[in-house]
Structure 1
Amino acid sequence: MRIFIAGASGAIGARLVTQLVARGHQVVGTTRSQAKTGPLRALGAEPVVVDALDPDSVADAVAKAAPEVIVHQLTALSGPSGMRQVKRMAAATNRLRTEGTDHLLAAARAVGVGRFVAQGNSLWMERTGGPVADETGRIEPNPPADAAAAVAALRHVEDAVTGITWADGIVLRYGSFYGPGTGLSAAPDAVMTEQIRKRRFPIIGSGDGVWSLVHIADAAAATAAAVEEGETGIYHVADDDPAPVRVWLPYLARTLGAEPPRRVPAWLARPLAGEGAVDMMTRARGISCEKTKRELGWTPQHPSWRTGFVHGLS
């Protein structure tokens, strides 16, 4: 098939390009930077520079590509980890998940795309119903105020994409990424790794929040399967070992050769990190991926972060 990947130069986008090209597909991949067109071409994609927030730019690129499938992997979540930078990246990502999604959907409909696959996220599953949610679960309807915009953007992606009637609209709720090219890898400049090594990524409150994690290569493989086989709806993508932060974070610190993470009371963390961070650390739910395995024939090569952190960070 001819596949258009919006956000092809990102951590999962680059992996996805490689996997789809290896499967015999033709891939057109977008980037915001002319400097990244060379690396995309080296991976086997036809690169194109696109401003995803400009509807004309998106429409023109999609029309020229004439794809059968569009994959939406647009985020702005890479760069320095200072508070101001993080807020700017979050705001830019929210726009890509709202305006960017709408521009891509309009362009997809105009050229008769048959399948539209979009990136979602599982960290904001509704905070009721037990430690693990399946695809029937919904995004948290009443998030903390400082997370409301991000959660609303995720909800927009899900509603807009799964609500289309002219093509298969698929949203992949990914677990938290780790592995090469992500913020959690063996690279010295990986943001989350650096914070853990410097003991700046603490366990907040009880640390009972359950997170699902997924190696970036496994996430890309599930996405490739959705591109080829997916039907309208939501699919979960994570390993088989959802676990509380208080369990996986100390294990990760040991794997990295770092000191154990600090413990910070929730009351102290709220004014510093925000209510959203406290909520994710204390109330988050993991996800089940049985539907994805059953319907897409996908199995993670790293079924647990316990071995994935040891063998999959580099």
Structure 2
Amino acid sequence: MRVLVAGGSGVLGRRLVPQLVERGHTVTATTTKAEKVAMIEAMGAEGVVMDGLDAASVGRAVASAEPEAIIHQMTAINPVHAGKPDIKHPDRWFAGTNRLRVEGTDHLLAAAQAQGVTRFLAQGYASWNGLREGGWVKTEEDPLDPFTGTATEPVMAAMKHVEDAVTGYGGTVLRYGALYGPGATDDQVEMVRRRQYPLVGRAQGYSSWIHLDDAASATVLALELGARGVYDIVDDDPAPANEWLPYLAEVAGAKPPLRVPVWIARIAAGEQAVMMMTEGRGFSNAKAKRELGWRLRYPSWRQGFAEGLS
């Protein structure tokens, strides 16, 4: 197929584009920086400069690529765009990404409709943000937590917009777990090494992880199979913070993480950090494995962390 990857120069795009090319697809990948076009071309794709927040720019890029499918991977989480991670103020940290998930999604869908593109896939999120009630592991049938009244609410509202708009178009939303792999977790690992990433309270809140290569392979399968609807793209091993964080510290060659009371964490790091560490809900990949025939290279973050950091 002729495939347009919006945001193809990002950390996930850099793993996804080569897989698409290897499978025989003709790929156009967008970037906001002209200097990254050469990197995209080195991956075997055509590089195009596009501003996802400019409807005209999006329209031109989609029209010139003449795609049969569009994959929306645009974010602005990179420190170049978003600055240092600010978990205390996710509404500020994710402000650019929120706009891309709302305005950028709408621009891409309008351009897709104008060009008659019916196959549309978009990036979602499913790591610790399941509804904070009931079991610790959720499925696609369970609602995501809107985190009403917190600084996380705008982030979740933007994600809901992606899901509603894309599925309403007849497309596919791939809810990736917490991404790790080359370039994806460097800032977190540095915080762990500096002992700036503590365990909060009992740290029994769950998270789900996914290696970049496995996220990319699931995306390729969903594209080729014409999958529709929502899929949780996570590994086999949802786990509480009191398991994955000490292990991450160990394989990163760091001292064990500190442990702080909830009230101190709420003041120092904000409500999101407390919710994630103490009440977070992970996700199941059963649907993606069953319907996509997806096989993971890294079934557990335990294997992936060790291979990537030790």
Smaller-chain TM-score bracket: over 0.9
| Runs ≥4 residues deviating over 6 A | none
Q: In structure 1, what is the equivalent of residue 24 of structure 2?
A: 24
From 94, 99, 107, the counterpart of 1:95: 99
From 277, 282, 292, the counterpart of 1:286: 282
Question: Displacement, 1:207?
Answer: 0.8
| Distance (Å, rounded) in 1 between the aligned partners of 2:220 and 2:280 | 27
Question: Displacement, 1:138?
Answer: 1.4
Q: Which amino acid aligns with 1:81?
A: K
Name the count of aligned residue pairs.
Answer: 305
- 8 Å Cα contact 2:252-2:309 kept in structure 1: no
Structure-to-structure mapping, 1:114-193, within 5 angstroms: 114-122=118-126, 123-164=128-169, 168-183=170-185, 190-193=186-189
Q: RMSD between aligned alpha carbons?
A: 1.6
Q: Which amino acid aligns with 2:249?
A: A
Q: In structure 2, what is the equivalent of residue 56 of structure 1?
A: 56
Q: In structure 1, what is the equivalent of residue 84 of structure 2?
A: 81
- 8 Å Cα contact 2:207-2:280 kept in structure 1: yes
Q: In structure 2, what is the equivalent of residue 274 of structure 1?
A: 270
Question: Displacement, 1:86?
Answer: 6.9
Q: Which amino acid aligns with 2:184?
A: T
Q: Which amino acid aligns with 1:212?
A: S
Does 2:105 correspond to 1:109?
A: no
Residues 100 and 259 of structure 1: CA distance in aligned 2, closer, same or farther (over 3 Å): same
Q: In structure 2, what is the equivalent of residue 247 of structure 1?
A: 243
Question: Displacement, 1:257?
Answer: 0.9
- 8 Å Cα contact 1:215-1:312 kept in structure 2: no
Instruction: Please give the secondary structure, in 2, of the residue aligned with 1:298.
Output: coil
TM-score calculated relative to the size of structure 2: 0.95
Question: Displacement, 1:230?
Answer: 3.6
- 8 Å Cα contact 2:31-2:49 kept in structure 1: yes
Residues 134 and 309 of structure 1: CA distance in aligned 2, closer, same or farther (over 3 Å): same
| Distance (Å, rounded) in 2 between the aligned partners of 1:302 and 1:201 | 24
Q: Which amino acid aligns with 1:248?
A: W
- Stretches of structure 2 lacking an aligned partner (at least 5 in a row): none
Q: In structure 2, what is the equivalent of residue 257 of structure 1?
A: 253
Residues 85 and 129 of structure 1: CA distance in aligned 2, closer, same or farther (over 3 Å): closer
- 8 Å Cα contact 1:143-1:151 kept in structure 2: no
TM-score calculated relative to the size of structure 1: 0.93
- 8 Å Cα contact 1:3-1:25 kept in structure 2: yes
| Distance (Å, rounded) in 2 between the aligned partners of 1:139 and 1:82 | 23
Q: Which amino acid aligns with 2:50?
A: V
Q: Show CA shifts across 1:261-296 (max 9, x none).
A: 111111111122111221111111111111111111
| Distance (Å, rounded) in 2 between the aligned partners of 1:171 and 1:34 | 28
Percent of paired sites with the same residue = 52
> Which stretch has the larger CA shift, 47-56 or 272-281?
272-281
| Distance (Å, rounded) in 1 between the aligned partners of 2:200 and 2:193 | 17
Residues 241 and 39 of structure 1: CA distance in aligned 2, closer, same or farther (over 3 Å): same
- Stretches of structure 1 lacking an aligned partner (at least 5 in a row): 184-189
Question: Displacement, 1:88?
Answer: 4.6
- 8 Å Cα contact 1:207-1:281 kept in structure 2: yes
